[in-house]
Amino acid sequence: MKILLIGCTGFLGKNLVRLLARQGHECVVLTRSSRSISLPESVQVAPYADPPDQVDAVISLVGEPVAGRWTTEKKKKILDSRVDSTRHWVTWMGSLKTPPRVFLCASAVGIYGDRGNETLTEDSMPDPQNGFLADVCKKWEAEANRAVEFGTRVVNLRISNVMDPTGGFLKALAPMLKLSPFYIPTAPKAYLPWISLVDCVEAMKFALVNDTLSGPVNLVSPTAITNLGFYKALGKARRRLVLGFVPDFAIRTLLGEFADAVIGSQHILPERLVQAGFKFQDPNLTEFLTRRFQQSGPDPRM
């Protein structure tokens, strides 16, 4: 399969490209930068202005990072980088003589908002409070879904916190883990949606080749865990003592509106992946963290 990958030069994207290339797919990665990118030799690199005019699939993981204080300028970048970019590429796909058969477009579990102990699946309604991230995700998915009009199968990848020591969520926690003991920096009873890096990229590949999957797909572990459970497992894996937690008001003072995304609770299940027969390799967080922190470098399964 010839695959065009957009926004795939970061932590998650590069690992996805490596998996697809290793399994024999012809990968073309778009980039705005002329600097060298660490990718397999078989992978083609092309500028954004010159994409190939015939591909079997498109995968887009574009998006300004959401972490940090949400100033007016930051929120505009978060929205525009997702919605405007997706609109551009869907319009381009529709202009091709033969549009791609499948379009995998990143979205996020932020579409559900803070839902307490409510169990959420792909059939659950978006955030009833219509928070900022939920609004972004709804507009993002709406732009992606326009590709259905010209016969392309669209999958909205609702990505959760991707776990691996080499990047993403766990790497961001590295400074805190140097301390012993440490405090849980978020609401302890809130549910934290997570997925291992291996399961995340394998689930993306599964959605790419499985014609029964379309629409929203939750990329989350089937085993739900609270922040308290997560940080206890992390402390055990890193041999650090967990003393207590930082109060919500302190988080809100430090992070402003972004705190809503940090302390919110989301008990999300990967119902559509499970129904389609996807097998998770890392359903147990404690076992996964313990094993990965004992290893050095990239996950040997990648």
Going by C-alpha positions, the residue among 198, 196, 167 that lies closest to residue 10 is 167
Cα separation, 25 vs 1, in Å, equals 5
Greatest mean pLDDT among 100-109, 233-242, 244-253 lies in 100-109
Who contacts 65 (Cβ-Cβ below 8 Å, separation ≥6)?
Answer: none
Instruction: Name residue 30's amino acid.
Output: L
Report pLDDT digits (tens) over 175-189: 777 766 666 667 888
Who contacts 292 (Cβ-Cβ below 8 Å, separation ≥6)?
Answer: 164, 165, 237, 299
Cα separation, 29 vs 59, in Å, equals 10
Report pLDDT digits (tens) over 65-121: 998 889 999 999 999 999 999 999 999 999 999 999 999 999 999 999 999 999 999
Who contacts 194 (Cβ-Cβ below 8 Å, separation ≥6)?
Answer: 160, 161, 162, 163, 169, 220, 221, 225, 230, 285
- Whether the Cβ atoms of residue 99 and residue 249 lie closer than 8 Å to each other: no
Please, what is the average pLDDT of the chain?
92
Whole-prediction pTM: 0.94
- Whether the Cβ atoms of residue 134 and residue 110 lie closer than 8 Å to each other: yes
In the chain, what is the greatest distance between 2 CA atoms, to the nearest angstrom?
Answer: 61
Q: How high is the pLDDT of residue 183? A: 66
Cα separation, 36 vs 253, in Å, equals 40
Which listed CATH number (3.40.50.720, 3.40.50.2300, 2.60.40.10, 3.50.50.60) goes with 2-294? Answer: 3.40.50.720
- Whether the Cβ atoms of residue 137 and residue 144 lie closer than 8 Å to each other: no
Q: Write the CA distances from 81 to 9, 70, 87, 103, 228, integer angstroms.
A: 15, 15, 10, 18, 33
Who contacts 81 (Cβ-Cβ below 8 Å, separation ≥6)?
Answer: 62, 63, 64
Domain spans in the chain, listed from the N-terminal domain onward? 2-294
For 174: left if phi > 0, alpha if psi spans -120 to 50, otherwise beta; the answer is: alpha
Report pLDDT digits (tens) over 158-167: 999 999 999 9
> Which residue's structure tokens are 């409510």?
118
> Buried b vs exposed e over 4-32: b needs ≥16 C-beta within 10 Å?
bbbbbbebbbbbbbbbbbeeebbbbbbbe
Say whether pLDDT at 263 is over 90.
Answer: no
CA-based torsion, 109, 258, 189, 181: positive or negative: positive
